[in-house]
Amino acid sequence: MKIRKDDTVIVIAGKDKGKTGKVLRSFPQEKKVIVEGVNIQVKHQKPMGPQKPGGLVKREGKIDVSNVMYYDTSAKKRSRIGYKFLEDGTKVRFRKSDGEVID
């Protein structure tokens, strides 16, 4: 999976199309990610003592990785990601739009 935690992504399909956010968690086996502020779900929470009152709790849900794309904040555009090997043999990710190494 080419999208990792702490990447900035843009949603390209679904009800939140066009929103950008940071990846909070990734689930490579399921091919899903949790993006900050995207796919908000409402859960009815029971009261758990005096410290945790009950009510409606909003939280982010999982979204399929095929519905998000890497977002370059400096150029303000989305880009595909590829892999390549450097001269010393390390495998790195790079943006296919301009060829710049991400990490």
**Top-confidence residue, 53 or 38:** 38
56-96 tens-digit pLDDT = 999 999 999 999 999 999 889 999 999 999 999 999 999 99
55-66 tens-digit pLDDT = 999 999 999 999
- Is residue 33 scored above 90 in pLDDT? yes
- Is residue 49 scored above 90 in pLDDT? no
63, β-bridge pairs: 33
34, β-bridge pairs: 25, 62
For 5-44+55-93, which CATH class? mainly beta
- d(CA 18, CA 69) in angstroms, rounded, equals 10
- Is residue 52 scored above 90 in pLDDT? no
